[in-house]
Structure 1
């Protein structure tokens, strides 16, 4: 394997800075985490977008969250006959092995994956429609959401679809038998959030109000 290269110098410098400060000042805590295993209270499913910093938003320390990130924070429907279920495997591990008490699906503003889905479903992204497009086939999960927001003015549709990505993921979570069982037994609660990355806002999905409300 001769194609791997050394880390860029700025990352190496940052690592040494972290090791000399944050780690050095909390060495006992890090060693305790390593030796006692992880016991997170919540799983967070968020977007890969570099602007979404889950631990910063909630002021979380190491060991608090079991975090899974993918394009557009989507959860696929339960499908045990498929292959390479990265997201499904993460959900299964969080619920059945770690016993998390909460699963949070966190969507965000200006999501490129959601925009790609919107463009694809409106004939503006032919490359995503190709069978060979990993992003396109992943965003097929969100196609039902496009139908739900189709009556809205065009300018309002992208943000509405970002929130549908959260709602559809919550719906799909309930198709997993082990998730449904844990929810019905009051061992697990599901939560849907959407954050405005530019304004720092956070909204929560409230089924009783039929939409998202500001926190």
Structure 2
């Protein structure tokens, strides 16, 4: 994130936990782990289906953080710090174990509209349409190159901006914009027009 942008409330809370964790507060550390475990796990599924490897890498990351807590810098952007550190550890481990990255389509979760007033039939139809749309989107995302999939995941699933994505991926901001443009162009071509209306 750039310094011109305000720090989101959730990141402010994470930064406070980070400060407490660095001061040997085990409860704050546990809260950090609980708050970001799922984010890291979901992120890793873009690169490997090996759930045990993912869990091991997350555990290794947090163990390393705890052991080095006194030397770790303070940051207002804890989530970005964690994703970047995790990404480096995951890729290093995958290279070391000669694992080949496999990207899955389990990246975008959709929120359904409120269906309290719909009849059971209408709800069923809405659910079927949503599942069909979600499946089409996942298949289209699976066809993207790996780096474009990563940008789509970070942008739309994690809500990061281009500056943050550039930091996580260790590329220039323009490269992120290019990946995103190409990905959206391919998705628009592959998906029904109604998704982009």
Q: Which is richer in helix?
A: 2
Q: Which is richer in strand?
A: 1
